Structure 1
Amino acid sequence: MTKFIKIYMVSFCIIVFFPWSQAAAMPEIMGTDQIQAGMHGIAKTVIEGTTIDTFDIEITGVIDAGKDSDGRIIAIASGPVIDKTGGVLQGMSGSPVYIDDKLIGAVSGGWKEINNRTCIITPIHDMMKIWDMPDLKNKTMIQQVNLKQPPTVLSADNKTDIKTASKNTVTTTQAAVAAEKSKPLMTPLMVSGFTDAGLNLLKEKMAPYNLVPYAVGSYEGKGETVTLEPGSSVGVEVVRGDLSVAAIGTVTALDNGRVLAFGHPFLRKGNVNYFMTDAHIITTASGDNTGFKVGAPGNLVGRINQDRSAGVAGIIGRYPSVIPIQINVDDLQLNRHQTYAVQLAYDEELASSLAASVVYNAIDQTIDRAGTGTAKIEFEILTNAVDSGVIKRSNMYYSPQDVGQLSITEIYQALNLLCTNTMGETDIVGIKVNIKVDANRRTASIIEAVPEKQKVKQGETVNVKLQIKPYRKPAETLIVPYKIAKNQPAGMTTLEIRGGGLVPVAQLLMQQQGLDLSPEEDKMQPLSEKLDAFMKANKNNEIIISPAAPMLNEVQQAAAIEAAIKQSAQLDQIKPNDQVNIENKKTKLDKPEADLPAKFDTNYIIDNIIKTSIQVIGKKN
């Protein structure tokens, strides 16, 4: 973010988060070299509300987890709390485990299919290393990792193997075999404010991260001061406000405002920038092969800054960079207006998907129906990526199935351009979206195009009279001015009149024949140029008038392709510092330099292409 915004956020944090400031220090800890099978201890977690309960732990062994690790501890959970929950649940991740009042680590995994009371404990020594990881967020680009490859958790095959092992530490080979059957306690993704359709889209967007969202309600306890302590529920929230998307786990340890939790990764993205909240557990749910806490995030208490294999870490009283989004949706049939306000924790890889999901959900929730519809969307993205400081775009969409899905296309594209900029990180200061949804089909076809004059001079402007036929409505007449290019060759010229969302006929025919001569994306093109092209791109509700590309026979097509390849090879040889006259590099493919195509906004999505002819005469004539 910009320097001004950073300063503002720090000041904001001092005011807002002071009530949650905590000076809790680390308790005495015990390493795996001191842990033996048969030892007994307790673990702390919340199964309802914010009250911390305890359950019993019996150590059954320690397994090797590879280089630079203290291994993984295997234990059996028991007691009234475990009896009530039906075993170790998702959401218990991070539950601190103590032996003789010494912290040994956090519950982090288990074998639900084999024994739902057997659990894996991540050693506290491994978790504490996270605190020493560099926190460079907002100073450099986020380091990318392979999120599709789940973290490896080495563990024993089952309770019997560990108890019968002659040594306290199982061999690496045994652990590797056992790891195939063990599973980390995947942290459930709790969402609130989403419709069924919105939740389904979010599931689709989160699938690459192995996250399954569950719909839960918010709770009325927000605003109450909750002091985080070992065993408290904690939220890692990526969307906050009228809608919420958060993972719920358990606090393992605190040390002067620093927090450790989960005992396994959330997304395993390293240095991150997420909201850290307290959390309220509503209930628990358990079945034969799965179980989890049902909870909701609460008060904002800080920032999650590390997401590593051994857990997540955060800082109380610090605030993450955010992208505020305001969405206004109008349903023209219901005469309903809804406004939604959310904040996204700024993450370059998640921002596009989360923003698109949030906007889609706002549409679906407001219109409260599925099926046909037309939507007009306008959005602004405040950013330092363009000189004006704002990206503006509007468009219209029609769909017989789900107009909301189409409506989010371009806001996703714009954010993706910003978040994948190869030249550097960009600031996204805010997003505002306005959407009007009409249940009626607002499409139209062009049925006639007649120039007011059949003969025009080079550089002259001629009005083209268009007849359009809206869906189930009377025909309408439009007058669209079109300027002939100053160097348009004399003679008969074919004009193509089409909807802005349609591909020109010649280009479409070439693509159908497997010939795509469009240039590849220039990865070195400045972001500002890409965004300028995005903002100027044709719209579905525009009528475009431009000279039609000449139709080529097979011989002409072959010659054109050969010339294009030759021209490309010649241009590739031009060095940046060479003073080369590009005009001398032109070939037969060069077209006369023409003015921009005429564009005319309508209140309909134009769904076809027609042609008309006009005779161009030279100025001398």
Structure 2
Amino acid sequence: MRIARYGALSLLLLLVAYAVLPASASFSQSPFLFMKDLRIGMEGIGKVAIGGDQVRIFQVRIIGIFDNPGELNDYILVRGSGDLIREAGGFAQGMSGSPIYINERLIGGFFAAFAYDDSPNPIGYVRPIETMLKLIEPIRRTVEAQSHQPLIPRGELERGLTRLEDGKLRFEELRAPDTVQALPTGTPLWVSGLTDRALSVLKSGLSPQVLEKYASSFLPLASPGFVDFFEGLQMGFEERFGTTIYPLAATTAQPGGFAEEVEPGRPVAALLSNGDVLFGGLCTTTYIDPETHVLLACGHEFYHTGASGMFLARGRYLDVSASSYLSFVIPEVDRSEIIGTVLEDRTQAIGAALDYTPPAVKLNVHLDDETTGTAQDLTVNLSKTSNFVPSLVFAILLQAVDSTLNRIGPGTMRIEYAIHGTEMPKRLQRSDIFTNFSDIAYYGPLQAAQIVFLLSQNEFLDPGVDRVDVDIAVNESIHLLQVKSIQTDKEVYQPGETVRYTVQLRPYRGEEKTATGVFKLPDDATVKNLTLHVFGGPRRQQNGQGQTIAYDDLGQLIDAVEGSTTNDQLTVELLGLPQGSSEEGDEERAPVQDVQKLGDWVLTGEGRVSIQIQLPEQPKQEEEHKDEESKEPEKKCSQLFYC
């Protein structure tokens, strides 16, 4: 009996001892605490690195658990406190993704706060970790499917140093200040390297009036998604994504100064572009999976693109600027090294693969101001995320033009560009010229952006565009020639004879010029009157639109771009020939025309002149002989009145 009592007592002591073991002593202890195990009143901590590289702690207490229909609508409500919260003036934009722990177990990432919350213990929203963890598996599959790609060499994307550009911060104030509104705290975007008009275009887009004014920039090439291209130009990033772009970013390409290891609580930067123009945002790391090296951050989406390709870089928060609306961090990004790729951009978080090469488009820009002798070079690496590349190409080229010219006004622009892609049958090369009396800057950037869109969004195959080289030269002079008239060396020609013509050209402010050329008349010409039609630049139809060029594969698209009429082209064509097939068969008769390019001049206008064709006459004797043979012999009458 005593033995039984001792045995029962020993078992009880063993169970009590096991119950009070620390969490680390449990062999199957999960690092996570899911919503079903949470209770109102539980207390814990959050982590974020602000004001340096040291990860700091703030306190939280659960005040609400909301299990709504659909797991993406679930959230945990907490009250924050502590020195860090007080110094920051509440939860700040940039703290999104800050990991929240209860009993040293991760429950999720902070992602939103109430605007105008001046309480010393502000309320914040936490994204449950179980929804964020679901991004790990698709990222793992993507990495495994493309594991043959090499890592980016350290410093490959390194460019010069830019520090805190001038520019005022702008806040979107609520119309009703007393209204309670919860806002994601990491969605603001920042940009370095774009100013004035280029920044305005990125933020707010181009007006329909501007696009209509510069419609002659675009080539007459049909595309299934071309409407989306125009919508992308008209709608800026702020309207498209409901956020604000600040012209304020601290960036550095100098090594050192950043924590070597990324860990929960440290900021990371998700970039759409890196180099001389940086564009993206920062948020805080929530979790790094030790097996797959997948990083989860933000607790909310960036652009909600689903699959993504943004560059991942180290970041840090220099300090916090307190605001009655919603405090915000002053960010800095280390652009000397890309540490991974954001592969998922979903409602619950962004997910990135560390040490994974991001596919990129390298944009090289060289610009010359021939009037002042000023030159500028830009190199920017663009993320292949969604269809952002054409809009970014336009904004960056506009910035290059404006910053080099340092003026807004008239001039003549020559642009040459070459586009390379891993799956393109050949490199695309094209040049063109534009002139304008009020603002020359838009033409070349718009056409280059259109071509990048046509290639990247073509309906045949992914061209794998990886390099775009653009060379722009601008002169303050107006290089414009208008066709005045056309004359021929004589009025009457024989079929097959050579026609020599002279076109009179009237320049804007200058002496008249001439262009001469020759072409051969068809040997089988059958009409007596023909017309020579001369016109400058692309062909204009009666409705003011150019002829749309069709194509059936990627190679034909490239040929169509390269072969599209340029503004320096002078075309002389022969009108009045019968339509139809040539003598050789069913093949359509090729147009009789002569084309030449005048290089430094934009041509416009048209002219006509008539010529006569002296057709060969058929021999008359042969015709009379045939008539005689066809007559019947006359019969003699045998009697009067009877034949």
Partner residue, 1:190: 190
**Residue 277 of structure 1 aligns to which amino acid in structure 2?**
A
Deviations 1:487-544 (A, max 9, x none): 665232233322213x43xx22xx37xxx9967966xx21211221111001112112
2:510 maps to 1:478: no
2:213 maps to 1:213: no
**1:195–1:364 contact (8 Å) kept in structure 2:** no
Call closer, same or farther: CA 1:288–1:272 in 2, change over 3 Å.
same
C-alpha distance in 2, partners of 1:54/1:182?
A: 23
2:62 maps to 1:53: no
Q: Does 375-384 or 288-297 show the bigger shift? A: 288-297
Partner residue, 2:356: 318
Call closer, same or farther: CA 1:195–1:536 in 2, change over 3 Å.
same
Equivalent residue in structure 2 for 1:544, among 568, 571, 577: 571
What TM-score comes out, normalization by structure 1 length? 0.75
**Residue 251 of structure 1 aligns to which amino acid in structure 2?**
T
Partner residue, 2:124: 119
Call closer, same or farther: CA 1:258–1:465 in 2, change over 3 Å.
same
C-alpha distance in 1, partners of 2:572/2:462?
A: 38
C-alpha distance in 2, partners of 1:517/1:538?
A: 10
Number of residue pairs matched by the alignment: 515
Call closer, same or farther: CA 1:375–1:283 in 2, change over 3 Å.
farther
Deviations 1:130-170 (A, max 9, x none): 10125448979xxxxxxxxxxxxxxxxxxxxxxxxxxxxxx
The equivalences for 1:411-560 within 5 A come to: 411-484=448-521, 490-501=527-538, 503-504=539-540, 507-508=541-542, 511=543, 525-547=552-574
Call closer, same or farther: CA 1:253–1:458 in 2, change over 3 Å.
farther
Deviations 1:362-406 (A, max 9, x none): 22221122122211000000124543x210010011233432211
C-alpha distance in 2, partners of 1:611/1:79?
A: 84
Call closer, same or farther: CA 1:94–1:446 in 2, change over 3 Å.
same
2:393 maps to 1:375: no
Equivalent residue in structure 1 for 2:300, among 261, 264, 269: 264
What secondary structure is seen at the aligned counterpart in 1 of 2:368? strand
Partner residue, 1:163: none
Partner residue, 1:328: 366
Partner residue, 1:102: 105
Q: Does 355-364 or 479-488 show the bigger shift? A: 479-488
**2:294–2:352 contact (8 Å) kept in structure 1:** yes
**2:72–2:348 contact (8 Å) kept in structure 1:** no
Deviations 1:256-314 (A, max 9, x none): 32211011111122222121000132443454434432323213211111111110111
Shift in Å at residue 49 of structure 1? Answer: 4.1
**1:37–1:61 contact (8 Å) kept in structure 2:** yes
C-alpha distance in 1, partners of 2:30/2:408?
A: 55
**2:532–2:573 contact (8 Å) kept in structure 1:** yes
C-alpha distance in 2, partners of 1:253/1:354?
A: 31
Shift in Å at residue 609 of structure 1? Answer: 2.3
Deviations 1:296-354 (A, max 9, x none): 32132111111111101112111111111211100112201211111112235122222
C-alpha distance in 1, partners of 2:387/2:328?
A: 27
**Residue 328 of structure 2 aligns to which amino acid in structure 1?**
F
Call closer, same or farther: CA 1:124–1:486 in 2, change over 3 Å.
farther
C-alpha distance in 2, partners of 1:609/1:285?
A: 62
Deviations 1:26-65 (A, max 9, x none): 9821111122222222222233343333322222101134
The equivalences for 1:573-612 within 5 A come to: 593-595=590-592, 598-612=595-609
What secondary structure is seen at the aligned counterpart in 2 of 1:403? coil
Shift in Å at residue 75 of structure 1? Answer: 1.7
C-alpha distance in 2, partners of 1:596/1:258?
A: 62
Equivalent residue in structure 2 for 1:248, among 274, 282, 290: 282
**Residue 341 of structure 2 aligns to which amino acid in structure 1?**
R
2:105 maps to 1:78: no
Shift in Å at residue 459 of structure 1? Answer: 4.7
What TM-score comes out, normalization by structure 2 length? 0.73
Shift in Å at residue 619 of structure 1? Answer: 7.2
2:64 maps to 1:28: no
C-alpha distance in 2, partners of 1:115/1:45?
A: 20
Q: Does 271-280 or 56-65 show the bigger shift? A: 56-65
Call closer, same or farther: CA 1:37–1:481 in 2, change over 3 Å.
farther
C-alpha distance in 2, partners of 1:619/1:45?
A: 94
C-alpha distance in 2, partners of 1:284/1:547?
A: 72
Call closer, same or farther: CA 1:252–1:528 in 2, change over 3 Å.
same
**Residue 199 of structure 2 aligns to which amino acid in structure 1?**
L
What secondary structure is seen at the aligned counterpart in 2 of 1:199? helix
**2:455–2:463 contact (8 Å) kept in structure 1:** yes
Structure 2: state its 5+ residue gaps.
1-28, 147-178, 206-235, 619-643
Structure 1: state its 5+ residue gaps.
1-25, 141-177, 551-559, 561-580
Call closer, same or farther: CA 1:453–1:316 in 2, change over 3 Å.
same
C-alpha distance in 2, partners of 1:620/1:200?
A: 71
What secondary structure is seen at the aligned counterpart in 2 of 1:268? coil
**1:50–1:233 contact (8 Å) kept in structure 2:** no
**1:111–1:118 contact (8 Å) kept in structure 2:** yes
C-alpha distance in 2, partners of 1:87/1:106?
A: 16
Partner residue, 1:130: 135
C-alpha distance in 2, partners of 1:520/1:480?
A: 27
2:15 maps to 1:40: no
What secondary structure is seen at the aligned counterpart in 2 of 1:296? strand
What secondary structure is seen at the aligned counterpart in 1 of 2:442? helix
Identity %: 23
Deviations 1:76-127 (A, max 9, x none): 2233322333222222111111122211111112331567832211111110
**Residue 197 of structure 1 aligns to which amino acid in structure 2?**
R
Deviations 1:172-194 (A, max 9, x none): xxxxxx9x954333522211111
**1:190–1:245 contact (8 Å) kept in structure 2:** yes
Shift in Å at residue 358 of structure 1? Answer: 1.7
Call closer, same or farther: CA 1:592–1:219 in 2, change over 3 Å.
closer
C-alpha distance in 2, partners of 1:386/1:517?
A: 27
